């Protein structure tokens, strides 16, 4: 089903409109001009996020409001965070760490993680966030690949996941434990911070100096350490402004876990560089809590994930009616393609649609987006942001062929934007394989329409070939969740002697619906009406839940492996990131 275009709201600020003229004349030096930099052409992400604002007289501006699981509340100004990050940098230096050393963060949305990330960067060291729900082996693997020199974590995580093996990691020199006490051979962060000096000049760094390591998983499950540099902050500044409507003083909430790239790029760096007032909620998703926070904290810009949006949809529109969302002026989504129905649903419930955008761990920042100044085509990724050149290409042997409007191929980007990864740790050949013919090849299949909007089709290894047709699971899943009974869907292809593959769907139901033969026929009939008999699933299987990665993405490959009786191996332990 084609959804009607959602036109841009009447109250769009003129500064939000990305005209074709702006897109055409933009160069990355325009983004770098948003920054202060340091003397002699140097820069430092922490300086751009904190210290420059204090120097400019904005030290008393609200920077972060943290809300604990039980309701505790802590407020930080830019001067507060500048002081805390300086203390953390001095703690690292006092324990013998220096420029280029690698500090890993392993905890949830706790204040100390945000301080550690920026304090590490301020000290000229490299920060690498880890997802706190990882088990001991994924943590150890990443710290070994990244040659971790220091770890910041909590006492509980240390006891359960670190204590048994950390002494076997020769690079690891320091473990900092949040709080006032620490196990033997570790350092309690509380007293160390209290004793440290609150002044520390950000270390001048070259734009190409390593700043961040973000881990993502490939199809084999082996983590890849994507390297990002201090110069990436220019992308964070520009995309925060152009794609997420950030401006000084704005109330902003990014729900992503800081253990993933979204939670770092747009949960820490971009908002602070743009001098917003960001909300950090320690708790995990809770519908009423989220709605209450949107209302009480007067959130203006909200950046969240399709998984959470589908959970809100599953609760129904009635659940949102008691709340006042009038402060909201921009909603954005990232992590997976956003189903068209979710865009339309949000427009009804919040009075504004969710704006999908696309990027990857490797791109370091948003590349393609639906911006507030655009009409939205529900289901589209949007258009390339200023400074980005995208295309659709087909591989023909060693060569690439650029494809025209309406043709499906691999989404490709012209290299050169500031936050593009600079490599995979210890895997130069793997990194080089990402580039060909003057393009960075994303591995995602997409289509560009005649108006310049890009449409996600699927990962190459998720495509289904049936009766000579290539089918992207996302298209089928989007049609399925338009049925009133379907809350979530996952689609795979299974071998068939006649058709090559046939489409099978797995669905979770909305409250008030129970599995039955009649409902299964109704859902299949709905899909056939929207998609046609070739594309629609031949069978619908009801499930209470769908297998997911740690970050919430549905694992189609695991469903397929289980159906075919194949060894699940590394597939079942994939730790894909949020983008």
Q: Residue 572 pLDDT more than 50?
A: no
Average pLDDT, the chain: 91
Range(s) of the domain holding residue 527: 468-546
Sequence-distant (6+) residues with CB within 8 A of 35 are 43, 48, 52, 233, 234, 237, 273
Please write the tens of the pLDDT for every residue from 518-554: 999 999 999 988 887 878 899 999 999 998 776 667 8
Give yes or no: residues 197 and 332 share one domain.
yes
CATH number assigned to the domain comprising residue 475: 3.30.300.30
- Does a structural domain hold residue 1? no
Counted domains in the chain:
2
**pLDDT at res. 484:** 94
- Does a structural domain hold residue 577? no
**pLDDT at res. 17:** 62
**pLDDT at res. 122:** 98
Which of 295-299, 380-384, 389-393, 525-529 is predicted least confidently?
525-529
Q: Residue 12 pLDDT more than 70?
A: no
Give yes or no: residues 130 and 254 share one domain.
yes
Distance CA 177, CA 400 (A): 51
The SS3 of residue 342 is helix
Give yes or no: residues 220 and 255 share one domain.
yes
Give yes or no: residues 540 and 410 share one domain.
no
Q: Residue 311 pLDDT more than 60?
A: yes
- 18 band by pLDDT with thresholds 50, 70 and 90: low
Mean pLDDT in residue range 409-429: 97
- Does a structural domain hold residue 275? yes
Please write the tens of the pLDDT for every residue from 105-120: 999 999 999 999 999 9
Sign for the pseudo-dihedral over CA of 145, 150, 155, 159: positive
- Does a structural domain hold residue 572? no
Give yes or no: residues 215 and 336 share one domain.
yes
Mean pLDDT in residue range 381-407: 93
- pTM: predicted TM-score of the whole model, two decimal places: 0.86
- Does a structural domain hold residue 568? no
104 closest CA partner among 159, 160, 144: 144
CA angle (520, 525, 531) in 5-degree steps: 125
Structure tokens, 377: 């085509």
When mean pLDDT is compared over 81-90, 467-476, 490-499, the highest value belongs to: 81-90
CA angle (79, 81, 87) in 5-degree steps: 105
Give yes or no: residues 426 and 506 share one domain.
no
β-sheet with 539-542: strand ranges across: 486-496, 500-509, 539-542
Please write the tens of the pLDDT for every residue from 336-367: 888 899 999 999 999 999 999 999 999 999 99
Which of 388, 420, 448 marks a domain boundary? 448
Q: Residue 220 pLDDT more than 60?
A: no
- Does a structural domain hold residue 574? no
Q: Residue 577 pLDDT more than 70?
A: no
Sign for the pseudo-dihedral over CA of 253, 479, 412, 142: positive
CATH number assigned to the domain comprising residue 347: 3.40.50.12780
DSSP state of 4: P
- Does a structural domain hold residue 249? yes
Give yes or no: residues 18 and 83 share one domain.
yes
**pLDDT at res. 573:** 40
Give yes or no: residues 377 and 487 share one domain.
no
The SS3 of residue 324 is coil
Give yes or no: residues 317 and 402 share one domain.
yes
**pLDDT at res. 556:** 84
Give yes or no: residues 39 and 126 share one domain.
yes
Give yes or no: residues 399 and 498 share one domain.
no
Give yes or no: residues 410 and 485 share one domain.
no
Mean pLDDT in residue range 457-461: 77
Q: Residue 219 pLDDT more than 50?
A: no
């Amino acid at each position: 089903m084609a959804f009607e275009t959602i036109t841009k709201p009447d109250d769009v600020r003129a500064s939000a409109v990305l005209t074709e003229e702006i897109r055409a004349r933009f160069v990355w030096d325009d983004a770098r001009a948003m920054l202060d930099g340091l003397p002699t052409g140097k820069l430092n992400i922490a300086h751009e996020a904190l210290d420059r604002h204090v120097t400019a007289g904005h030290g008393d501006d609200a920077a972060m409001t943290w809300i604990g699981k039980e309701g505790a509340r802590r407020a930080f100004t830019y001067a507060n965070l500048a002081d805390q990050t300086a203390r953390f940098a001095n703690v690292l230096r006092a324990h013998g760490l220096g420029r280029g050393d690698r500090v890993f963060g392993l905890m949830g949305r706790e204040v100390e993680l945000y301080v550690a990330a920026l304090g590490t960067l301020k000290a000229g060291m490299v920060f690498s966030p880890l997802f706190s729900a990882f088990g001991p082996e994924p943590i150890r693997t990443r710290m070994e690949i990244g040659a971790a020199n220091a770890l910041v974590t909590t006492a509980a995580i240390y006891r359960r996941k670190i204590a048994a093996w950390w002494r076997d990691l020769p690079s690891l020199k320091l473990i900092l434990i949040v709080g006032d006490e620490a196990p033997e051979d570790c350092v309690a962060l509380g007293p160390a911070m209290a004793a440290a000096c609150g002044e520390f000049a950000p270390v001048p760094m070259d734009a190409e100096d390593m700043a961040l390591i973000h881990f993502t998983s490939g199809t084999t499950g082996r983590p890849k350490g994507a390297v990002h540099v201090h110069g990436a902050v220019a992308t964070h500044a520009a995309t925060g402004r152009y794609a997420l409507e950030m401006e000084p003083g704005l109330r902003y909430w990014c729900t992503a876990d800081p253990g993933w790239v979204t939670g770092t790029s747009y949960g820490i760096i971009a908002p602070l560089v743009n001098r917003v007032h960001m909300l950090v909620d320690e708790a995990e998703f809770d519908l009423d809590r989220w709605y209450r926070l949107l209302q009480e904290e007067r959130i203006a810009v909200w950046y969240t994930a399709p998984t959470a949006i589908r959970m809100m949809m599953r609760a129904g529109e009635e659940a949102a009616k008691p709340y006042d969302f009038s402060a909201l002026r921009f909603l954005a989504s990232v992590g997976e393609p956003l189903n068209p129905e979710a865009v339309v649903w949000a427009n009804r419930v919040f009075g504004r649609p969710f704006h999908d955008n696309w990027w990857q761990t490797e791109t370091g920042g948003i590349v393609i987006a639906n911006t507030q100044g655009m009409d939205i085509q529900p289901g589209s990724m949007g258009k390339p942001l200023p400074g980005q050149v995208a295309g659709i290409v087909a591989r023909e042997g060693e060569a690439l062929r650029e494809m025209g409007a309406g043709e499906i191929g691999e989404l490709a980007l012209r290299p050169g934007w500031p936050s593009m990864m600079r490599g995979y740790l210890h895997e130069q050949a793997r990194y080089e394989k990402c580039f060909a013919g003057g393009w960075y090849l994303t591995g995602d299949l997409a289509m560009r329409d005649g108006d310049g909007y890009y449409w996600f089709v699927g990962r190459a290894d998720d495509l289904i070939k049936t009766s000579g047709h290539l089918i992207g699971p996302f298209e089928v899943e989007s049609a399925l969740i338009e049925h009133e009974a379907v809350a979530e869907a996952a689609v795979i292809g299974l071998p068939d002697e006649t058709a090559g593959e046939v489409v099978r769907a797995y669905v979770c139901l909305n409250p008030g619906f129970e599995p039955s033969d009649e409902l299964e026929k109704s859902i299949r009939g709905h899909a056939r009406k929207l998609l046609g008999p070739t594309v629609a699933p031949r069978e619908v299987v009801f499930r209470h839940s769908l297998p997911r990665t740690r970050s919430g993405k549905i694992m189609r490959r695991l469903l397929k492996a289980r159906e075919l009786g194949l060894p699940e191996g590394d597939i079942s332990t994939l730790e894909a990131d949020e983008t």
